[in-house]
Amino acid sequence: MLEVADISVAYGQHRALTDAALNVGRGEIVVILGANGAGKTSLLKAIAGIVACLPGKRVTLSGRDISALPAHEIVEAGLALVPEGRGIFADLTVAENLLLGANPKRARDGEAARRERVLSLFPRLGERLGQTVRTMSGGEQQMVAIGRALMSNPDVLLLDEPSLGLSPLLVRELFASLRKVRESGVGLLLVEQNARESLAIADRGYLIENGKITGSGTGTELMSNDAVQRAYLGGIVASAV
């Protein structure tokens, strides 16, 4: 569904990405693993049209070339980004944030049903529709951010460090919800510092080092890879349950 090739990004003299390429299928969870500064966030932002790329970028979504579209038209095409730090409207209520998420034309039909779907994924939000988002916990704010993105009716959802700062219990709840999103047919491209939890739910993954994709495999293959275990899993791990 999402095909990405030849994405290169530079900030002044610093090359953040070089010829990055990946793909995400319908209803597939794909995780990107890499150290801080490896280029993970730049890759998501480049796909979403938020940062400028060097010539040659190719991004297609469901067969449509969206490489040259501005960010708001990329959302209309069916791709939504949940950025690191969430990017929510903190002074608005939960209900208002969800309503803003449904602003794209593609999302206006079926808005009510989509909202019910979001609230079924995150029941806590249904209890707090009138609450100002800045008064909520970090985990609840992340639910708002993901719910707002889902309200745009995406085919592919990009998530940048969604579990950052969350308690272990909330991390488990979050990843269980992402599984349910996958079951609805939405593809997910996930940058995540919690390698163990993300690989446990991932269909596939990519490794990125110094701005270059250096490896790939299924979630199970990467979980059992010695180099991945040493770099991201704290050593040898037992087989995933």
Distance CA 220, CA 201 (A): 9
CA-to-CA dists, residue 90 to 22, 136, 138, angstroms: 33, 9, 11
pLDDT (0 to 100) of residue 235: 59
pTM over 0.85: yes
Per the listing, tokens 């206006």 go with: 108
- Given a contact cutoff of 8 angstroms between Cβ atoms, the answer to whether 240 and 202 are in contact is no
- CA torsion sign for 60, 97, 147, 133 is positive
pLDDT (0 to 100) of residue 193: 87
Q: C-alpha angle with apex 214: 212 to 215, nearest 5 degrees? A: 140
pLDDT in tens, the chain (241 residues): 999 999 999 999 999 999 999 999 999 999 999 999 999 999 999 999 999 999 999 999 999 999 999 999 999 999 999 998 888 999 999 999 999 999 999 998 889 999 999 999 999 999 999 999 999 998 899 999 999 999 999 999 999 999 988 888 889 999 999 999 999 999 999 999 899 999 999 999 999 999 999 999 999 999 999 989 988 887 554 443 3
Domains of the chain, start order: 22-36+82-232 (3.40.50.300)
pLDDT (0 to 100) of residue 234: 73
Question: What is the gyration radius of the CA atoms in the chain, in angstroms?
Answer: 17
Angle between helices 138-150 and 111-121 in degrees, nearest 10:
150
